[in-house]
Amino acid sequence: MIPTISVAAFGLEPGIDTPFGALQELPSWAARELEVRGMNVPATMLAGATGRDFEHLRDQADRFGCPVLVLEQRLALDLSSTEASTGSAERMHALAAAAVRLGASHVSVALNADNDEPSLERVASILREVMAEVEQHELTLMLLPHEGLTDDPERLMALVKLVGGFRIGIQPSIKHAIAHGGLEATMRRLAPYAASVVADDVKLIPALVELLQGVGYENTIALHPIRANQLGSWKTMRDVLHTSIHGESEA
């Protein structure tokens, strides 16, 4: 399992105050202070970024060995109707292009749609169309749990199966699992579909790691502390994750 950081812990607004300063300084901060090996970055933080900004961020990521692995669309895209879906599909295409420019291998999106069968079929159809570009770029699309169609784990898995293919999955989190059937039962079902799991409760990281090891999960775990502007919160969470993976002797 690979420790990474969830930059969304700082908030979703562009220009938000963070301990690392400008977004381009994120890779050096994450590598130096936390010794992590990758980042999940919310797309909203890149609002207004120029091509040069993208290039600089990718160069810094390469330099410090801390790449952008997941480009996240955490503000839900509206797929609640056929009319609303056109702009949201275009947004997903734009996210795929941005991920390629950043060198990211994954895009994750939150979707807003009603939890009924017509919506399930409509959303699956839209995602199948988007997946053509995702697969062309050799990206993976992950669905973030969100109120409505993708809130319930069973419906979330049903949507992934209906879309089909090897490049669509789920980006689960500890808190979502706890709220929907419990950490062990829910995460055990969702982990096989995940390329990134968000660790957003430090107390439950040991249990998370144990169950993920039990199902053979080898992908990333993204740290997402409550008090993101306190370096100590990040380091505490990192240390707990390290000990959970490697044991006390290597902490």
At residue 84, the pLDDT reads 83
Q: How many CB atoms lie within 10 A of CB 83?
A: 8
**Per-residue tens of pLDDT for the chain, all 251 residues:** 999 999 999 886 776 667 777 788 889 999 999 999 999 999 998 888 888 989 999 999 999 999 999 999 999 999 988 888 989 999 999 999 999 999 999 999 999 999 999 999 999 999 999 999 999 999 999 999 999 999 999 999 999 999 998 999 999 999 999 999 999 999 999 999 999 999 999 999 999 999 999 999 999 999 999 988 888 999 999 999 999 999 875 44
Q: What is the CATH number of domain 2-250?
A: 3.20.20.150
| CA 241/CA 237 separation, integer angstroms | 6
- Per-residue buried b or exposed e for 13-46, using 16+ beta carbons within 10 Å of the residue's own CB: eeeeebebeebbbbbbbbbeebebbbbbbbbbbb
At residue 234, the pLDDT reads 94
At residue 229, the pLDDT reads 85
Domain locations in the chain as residue ranges: 2-250
pTM: 0.93
Main-chain dihedrals φ then ψ at residue 176, nearest 5 degrees: -65, -40
Q: Strands across the sheet with 196-199, in order?
A: 168-170, 140-144, 106-112, 68-78, 39-42, 2-6, 220-223, 196-199
- Look up residue 220 and give its two tokens: 């990333």
At residue 40, the pLDDT reads 96
